[in-house]
Amino acid sequence: MRTTLEVRHAELVARRDEFPLLAEVTYLNTCSLGARSVRSRRKLDEFLEQWDRLGARAWYKHWLDELSALREDFGWTIGRPGSEIALAPNVSVALASVASALDPVQRNDGDAVGRVREMGLPVGIGSRPRTRIITTALDFPTIGHQWLARAPLGVELVVLPSEDGSTVPLSAFEAAVDERTSLVATGHVYFTTGAVQDVEGLAGLCHDRGAMLLIDAYQATGLLPTDALATGVDFYVSGTLKWLFGGPGNAFLWVRPELREALAPTSTGWFSSARQFAFDVASLEFASDGRKFELGTPATPSAFIARGGLEVVREVGIERLHERTTDLGSLTIALAESAGLRVRAVREDAKRGGIVPLEVRDPKSVVDELARRGFVVDFRPGIVRLSPAFYNTEQEVADVVAALAELTPPADRIG
C-alpha cells in the first residue's frame, strides 16, 4: 500500500524512471551531484549532431541561442529575466569576477567609489577604505578563498563561527558588519547543515551599514522559490550541479541591475563586450546587460546537458520540488530520531533546505560501507549528509536510515 506522501507526490515520483542512476543505486546525494535525466543525453546528442552537421555555423544557427535559453532558465529560477544573467563555468569564476569589480571600491579608488556613490548605492563608501569581507565557518571554501587570495591587495577575511554547528544567527552578522566591511559573502542554504539563511534580513543589515551582500545559492537554486530582487541581495551566484540536475560546467551570476551599471569587472573576456563580434582588440565597452560579468566561450556541451535537467525543474515547478523535498527531509529526520541517530538538521521545515546531516563517529567508513550496500550518500567532517530529492521514495529513505542505524554502535545512539 502506498503512503500518504507517496500518493500526494505520485506524479513526481513517477519521474524517477527518467533518471537512469536511480535504477542502479539508492541515491541520496543530490546535494553533491543531482542525478542525470535522459533528456540531458538527448540534448547532448543534439549538440553533437549540430557540430557534425554544421561545424562553426552551429554557433549562429543554434549554440548562441541555446546559451541565451540557459540564461533565461537561470533567470527563471530567481524570478529575473535572462538578460540580467551572466554565465560562468563554475561559481568560483563568477565570484572571481565579482571580486575583480570590488577591488577598486575596496581600495577606495576615487572613480569607482564615485560611480557607486552616484548611484546612491549602499556600498562601502566613506573616507576610509572598506577592506573587510565577512563569511562564516559553515560556508563553502571557495567563498573564503576568493578573499584570502586577495590578502596581498589589503583585503581581510573575517570568518564568523557557528556556535551550534548548524547555523549562524543574524545577531552574529549584526555584531560583525561595520564601517570596515565592504561585503558579506555567505550561503543561502549552508552546504554542510542544510540551514536556510534569512537573506532578506542579511540584506537589510548590510545595507543599513553601507555594505553589500553576496549569496552563494548553490544549495538553494531549484529547491527554494526565490525572488532575487525582492530579497535585496546584491550578488547571487549558483550552478547546475545539484538541485537543477544539470551536471558540471554551468553556473551563473546575477547582479542587482543598478549595481551592475555602477561596477565594472577588472577580470573579463570577450563575451562581456557590447560589440562582441566587432573583434576590436583596442577598445572595450561592456555589454549593458548581465553579460558584463561573463568571460570567454561558455562550456557549450555542458549547457545542453544542463538544459535537460532544467527542463524537468521547469515542468515540475520549484514550489512542488520544495514541498516534496521538505516532506522527505522531515521523514528522514523522524526516522533517524526514532532510530536513536544524532540528527544535526534544522527541525523547522521553513528553515531547512535539502540536506539532513547526521553526526557519526567515522563518517568516511560509514559512507564507504553504505556504498558497499548500494546506498550513495556523502560525508563532511563529523557528519554524513543525506539529501533525498523529489525522485527518491519513502522506502529508500527508510532503508538508508535502517542501514545507518545498523552501522551505529548502541553507545553512539541516543536513548
Ligand X SMILES: Cc1ncc(COP(=O)(O)O)c(C=O)c1O
Residues in contact with ligand X by CB under 6 A are: 90-92, 140, 142, 187, 191, 216, 218-219, 239, 241, 251
Nearer to ligand X, 140 or 286 (CB): 140
**What are the residues whose beta carbons fall under 8 Å from the beta carbon of 171, sequence distance 6 or more?**
none
Are 31 and 219 a contacting pair, CB within 8 Å?
yes
The position carrying cell 563554475 is: 90
Nearer to ligand X, 125 or 215 (CB): 215
Name the helix (H) or strand (E) containing 238: strand 235-239
Nearer to ligand X, 251 or 306 (CB): 251
Are 37 and 308 a contacting pair, CB within 8 Å?
yes
In the complex, minimum distance from the CB of residue 269 to ligand X, in angstroms, rounded to a whole number: 17
In the complex, minimum distance from the CB of residue 67 to ligand X, in angstroms, rounded to a whole number: 18
In the complex, minimum distance from the CB of residue 247 to ligand X, in angstroms, rounded to a whole number: 12
DSSP state of 286: B
Nearer to ligand X, 12 or 214 (CB): 214
314-318 contact pairs (CB < 8 A, 24+): 314/73, 314/76, 316/12, 316/15, 316/390, 318/77, 318/222, 318/223, 318/224, 318/225, 318/226
In the complex, minimum distance from the CB of residue 258 to ligand X, in angstroms, rounded to a whole number: 26
- Residue 103, exposed/middle/buried by CB under 10 A (0-12, 13-18, 19+)? middle
**What are the residues whose beta carbons fall under 8 Å from the beta carbon of 151, sequence distance 6 or more?**
157
Nearer to ligand X, 30 or 40 (CB): 30
The position carrying cell 569581507 is: 133
| Helices first, then strands: H and E counts in the chain | 17, 13
In the complex, minimum distance from the CB of residue 50 to ligand X, in angstroms, rounded to a whole number: 26
CB atoms within 10 A of CB 365: 12
Nearer to ligand X, 31 or 360 (CB): 31
Nearer to ligand X, 91 or 397 (CB): 91
Which among 402, 407, 397 is positioned nearest to 28, based on CA atoms?
397
Nearer to ligand X, 91 or 212 (CB): 91
In the complex, minimum distance from the CB of residue 7 to ligand X, in angstroms, rounded to a whole number: 32
In the complex, minimum distance from the CB of residue 73 to ligand X, in angstroms, rounded to a whole number: 17
In the complex, minimum distance from the CB of residue 337 to ligand X, in angstroms, rounded to a whole number: 25
Nearer to ligand X, 104 or 144 (CB): 144
DSSP state of 232: T
Name the helix (H) or strand (E) containing 363: helix 363-372
Which of left, alpha, beta for 392 (phi over 0: left; psi -120 to 50: alpha)? Answer: beta
CB atoms within 10 A of CB 142: 17
In the complex, minimum distance from the CB of residue 95 to ligand X, in angstroms, rounded to a whole number: 7
